[in-house]
Amino acid sequence: MNERKPIFYINDQRCRNSYSCVRVCPVNAIEVRAQKDHPSIIPGRCIGCGLCYIACSPSAIEFRDSREDVKELLASDRKTAALVAPSIASEFDDITDYRKFVGMLRLLGFDYVHENSFGVDLIAARYAELFNRSEGKYYMTANCPVIVKLIEKYHPELVPNLAPLVSPMVATAMVVKEIHGEDVATVYIGPCIDNKDESYLYRDGKLVDSILTFIELRKLFEEFNIQERVVKMSEFDPPYGHWGALYPLPAGIIQAAGIKRDIATSGVITAAGQEDVFEGINDFDKYIDTIHHHFNFFFCHGCLLGPGMGRHSERFRRRALVRLYAEKRVNMLDKKQWQKDIDKWSKLDFSRTFTPDDQRIPEPPEEAINEVLKIVGKENPDEELDCGACGYQSCRQFASTVAKGLAVPEMCHTFNLRNKQEYIETLRQTNRKLAETKRALKESEELAMREKEIAQSASDMMNNMLEKLPTGVVIVDNNLKILHSNHSFINIIGEDARAISEIIPGLVGADIKTLMPFNVYNMFTFVLKEDEPVVSKDIHFEDSMLNISIFPIKKNRMCGAIMRDLYSPEVQGEEVTNRVSEVIEKNLEMVQKIGFLLGEGASETEQMLNSIIESYKKKSMSQAPSKK
């Protein structure tokens, strides 16, 4: 058997947070909390009425499904008996004859099919006896499991006034177990979902082994493709019911008991439907000493409109269908045999007890209620509209429920409307700021694009300049991989470098260690590591003498080098000039120190050296190729 689930629960995947379930719940058993995405049903507070199930348009409210349990019973070696509620007359009006319906149940796999109306007759007779010997104590009928839960949980002081009798479903199951043996599996089929919980109250759930609603039964018929046209007619198994067939009507059990129903002489008041039930319980509690009547309660408008039915409308048409069905059954009944059966099975013990289970939440302090009213904009009594859109009778009742932690302020229509207007205004301001930000962003993008173009232009200019320099330039990263180099550098390195550059322009990605000797790339490593430059070092490289200066660009990440081939004609003249200038500067320093000794000699030395420089410059210019 499947693990027992709550009688009703919310499927979060389907829930759309319309709160219709919260609004219709008569006992605040569905809570809405800010930290939860969807409402949730509190099993301990739920009375199983099914109003939330009926009201939920996206069908997010689900109830405990018994189909798999029933299929297991039907597939087992145990004999199985169906206990059928007389409400079939109002639910299966598409089936032309009830005997076809019985045949469909037998084809589904049931060995026996009994009508629950016989159990109604047994319990109705017990009610007649109980009311006759009540001696001033007044009772409430306990046939409806929802009513029983309602009294136990929310009016526990009235538990002693619940009639101490089992329901017709339980009575029928007791008779069937007596007839077929305790091992027979009984499955009650009816319109009430809360019968699923009621069945667990007797013999640990082994008196009524499972419950099928009419909704579930239709699905089983569809699953096994059982249709009226493929079955033969079949009669119920005895014992047969009498006026118990009227049980789906609110006062049906009273009529089955033979109790008078006229206003002047009847000792029983029937109240059916949520509003009449709550008013009836309230009046019973407060004014029973004035009313002097027993109460027959059904939470629905009779079992012909139970939540476990496919449709929940056409009440008066359904009443007519039930009446016609009952008349047909009674006219076919062998009254003498029925009386013998009643006399025989009336000896069973149909008594039961009830257990108070107080689920009432104390009213919150007035300060808490007023705080909620302030939050929803009902701080002044004149602002309490009592519109009922939240599902509560008044703003104060709603505020009390919020203070109890069972609802949230967002369920208030006017509060939501005010928040919506504030949200729209906030959204309008946000959109305006967003538009301003968008304009600023566009301007920034245009400025960045212009700066990018300028930078690209500068980069292109710099690259062109580097390419035209007669001095070799190379830039490497911290792994000594070349990031950029010009043609002069490639020419200085030699043929291998020129061959590589044809495949990889600028030698980008090449390892400087494979192109330069150890003492050179070791200087690169030094500059990267120490972040200090190496200036004007002369290095023998192959057949050349290179003058190298290496300088850091980004600390420990990038450095650059300038290389000149001192043997090239253009560099030789420049280098001699530079170095003679250095000699002059050094000699001048010395001359200044010994000038007083050399006198005119210092001036002659300077003139001589300057003449050498000028002479070399003229020679270099005369040897340079002329421009055309």
pLDDT band at 118 (very low <50, low <70, confident <90, very high): very high
Pairing outcome for strands 40-41 and 8-10 = unpaired
pLDDT band at 591 (very low <50, low <70, confident <90, very high): very low
* Token pair belonging to 84: 């059928």
pLDDT band at 621 (very low <50, low <70, confident <90, very high): low
Question: Does the pLDDT value for residue 389 go beyond 80?
Answer: no
pLDDT band at 296 (very low <50, low <70, confident <90, very high): very high
Mean pLDDT of 520-530: 90
Hey, is 389 helix, strand or coil? coil
Contact 71, 102 (CB under 8 A): no
Question: Does the pLDDT value for residue 581 go beyond 80?
Answer: no
**Per-residue CA distances from 186 to 5, 94, 332 (Å):** 20, 26, 26
Helix axes 168-180, 117-132, angle to 10 degrees: 120
Q: Which CATH architecture has domain 469-567?
A: 2-Layer Sandwich (3.30)
Hey, is 401 helix, strand or coil? helix
pLDDT band at 496 (very low <50, low <70, confident <90, very high): confident
Contact 195, 145 (CB under 8 A): yes
Considering the entire predicted model, what is its pTM?
0.67
pLDDT digits (tens, 9 = 90+) for 317-347: 999 999 999 999 999 999 999 999 999 999 9
Residue 449 has a pLDDT of 85
Q: What percent of the chain has pLDDT over 70?
A: 88
pLDDT digits (tens, 9 = 90+) for 526-560: 999 999 999 888 888 877 888 899 999 889 999 99
Q: What percent of the chain has pLDDT over 90?
A: 53
Contact 240, 107 (CB under 8 A): no
Contact 165, 294 (CB under 8 A): no
Alpha helices in 292-412 (DSSP H): 315-332, 335-345, 366-375, 395-403
Residue 572 has a pLDDT of 60
* Residues 6+ away with beta carbon under 8 Å from 122: 168, 171, 175, 342, 345, 346, 348, 350
Most confident range, picked from 88-92, 158-162, 438-442, 511-515? 158-162
Contact 130, 163 (CB under 8 A): yes
Question: Does the pLDDT value for residue 593 go beyond 80?
Answer: no
* Token pair belonging to 550: 């290496």
How long, in residues, is the chain?
A: 628
Output the furthest CA–CA distance in the chain (Å, rounded). 164
Higher local confidence (pLDDT), 461 or 558: 558
Q: Which CATH architecture has domain 1-64?
A: 2-Layer Sandwich (3.30)
pLDDT band at 59 (very low <50, low <70, confident <90, very high): very high
Mean pLDDT of 574-586: 54
Question: Does the pLDDT value for residue 60 go beyond 50?
Answer: yes
Nearest to 149 by CA among 198, 206, 89: 198
* Token pair belonging to 304: 């012909």
Question: Does the pLDDT value for residue 573 go beyond 60?
Answer: no
pLDDT digits (tens, 9 = 90+) for 143-182: 999 999 999 999 999 999 999 999 999 999 999 999 999 9
Calculated CA dihedral for residues 190, 191, 195, 197, nearest 10 degrees = 120
* Token pair belonging to 108: 């589904």
